[in-house]
Copies of this chain bind each other. A is one copy, B any other.
């Protein structure tokens, strides 16, 4: 499985993904699930992926191929599309087409190949956007009421986000929130695993501000995780019923 979370805040976009991929519990690998398509100063698009690796890799390969095509235009390349909404539509269409092709190829299997994606970004002259793209290619967008979107094993890490995240949350606090949300998920579900990929895209910067891979045993992450556990246990002792 996977856990990816994206936030759209007044100050910008914050993204976090794990890297664990498994084909059965006895076949576990590390694959990046966060990808960037960037023209610094003009547009930045980030994609996070969950689901069948064959679907997500082929989808990303096709998006890249379309970008590199010498005849690429605003109807084929996500780096040329006229709005983030059109970018989301293009990615959704490519995902749906790829998923259907692979589903057709693997029809005799009981478990069908599927995938979903989080798309975040901003283009010059536009606002930052954050989308969750479903396997069928349709999508929803984060709003002020619901400033975060999750794919994969989203339930373990949702309570902390529900409690602390609002559009006014700072980018520093948002990084902390997604990391604590991931920490809860890592503890409770083996199918989500280190290392992590963290990225921050400040509003109107039109480039990746921070991009960090957090490795297993990362001292800062371990310290935060231990401090959070201790704080939770302290809070548990103090709360009365």
Contacts and interface: CB of A to CB of B under 8 A. Distances in A.
B235 A228 contact: yes
A241 B162 CA distance: 20
A236 B175 CA distance: 11
Nearest to A161: B188
Nearest to A183: B159
Contact of A155 (B156, B179, B232): B156
A234 to B, nearest CB: 8
Which residue among A175, A231, A235 has the maximum number of chain B CB atoms within 10 Å of its CB?
A: A235
A128 B5 CA distance: 41
Interface string A211-236: 00000000011001001110111111
B188 A158 contact: yes
Contacts of A240: 176, 224, 227
A11 to B, nearest CB: 17
A158 B189 CA distance: 10
A232 B239 CA distance: 11
A31 to B, nearest CB: 23
B231 A235 contact: yes
Nearest to A198: B241
Interface residues of A, number: 37
A4 interface: no
A164 B233 contact: yes
Given A162-B188, A187-B162, A238 B232 contact: no
Contacts of A187: 159, 162-163
A175 B184 CA distance: 21
Contacts of A239: 176, 180, 224, 227-228, 231
Q: Among A153, A231, A233, A239, which residue has the most Cβ atoms of chain B within 10 A?
A: A239
Interface of A: 153, 155-160, 162-164, 173, 175-177, 179-180, 184-185, 187-189, 220-221, 224, 227-229, 231-236, 238-241
Given A153-B155, A155-B156, A156-B156, 10 more contacts: A155-B189, A158-B188, A159-B159, A159-B184, A162-B188, A164-B233, A176-B241, A224-B241, A227-B238, A232-B232
20 contacts: A153-B155, A155-B155, A156-B158, A159-B159, A159-B188, A160-B236, A162-B188, A163-B229, A163-B232, A163-B233, A175-B241, A176-B236, A176-B240, A177-B236, A180-B236, A224-B240, A227-B240, A231-B235, A231-B238, A235-B235
